Amino acid sequence: MPRQEALPPTLSPRLVAREAAAAYVCVSPNTFDLLVNQRIMPKPRILGDKRRAWDVRELDASVDALPREGETLAPVDDGWSE
């Protein structure tokens, strides 16, 4: 049984896979990867050695920070320091 089918119908998953995260923000998975690399979308959470997932709340915050038509992308303090 897929993970999401195990949830009650009133409960949505908090963490979603790459393809679902891309669909959630209305872009292709490849475009989503570019947005993550450009730090427009958040990095994934680590669930194990190979498993990664995106927090829907962080996706919401990233979408809220996107510019509207005619605006420019404002720098966001995302906690990523290099």
Q: Is residue 27 classed exposed, middle or buried when 0-12, 13-18 and 19+ CB atoms within 10 A define those classes? A: middle
pTM for the whole structure: 0.78
Q: Tell me, what's the pLDDT at 75?
A: 59
pLDDT digit string, tens, across residues 6-43:
777 878 899 999 999 999 999 999 999 999 999 999 99
What is the rounded CA–CA span in Å between residue 41 and residue 25?
Answer: 9
pLDDT digit string, tens, across residues 33-77:
999 999 999 999 999 999 999 999 999 999 999 999 988 876 555
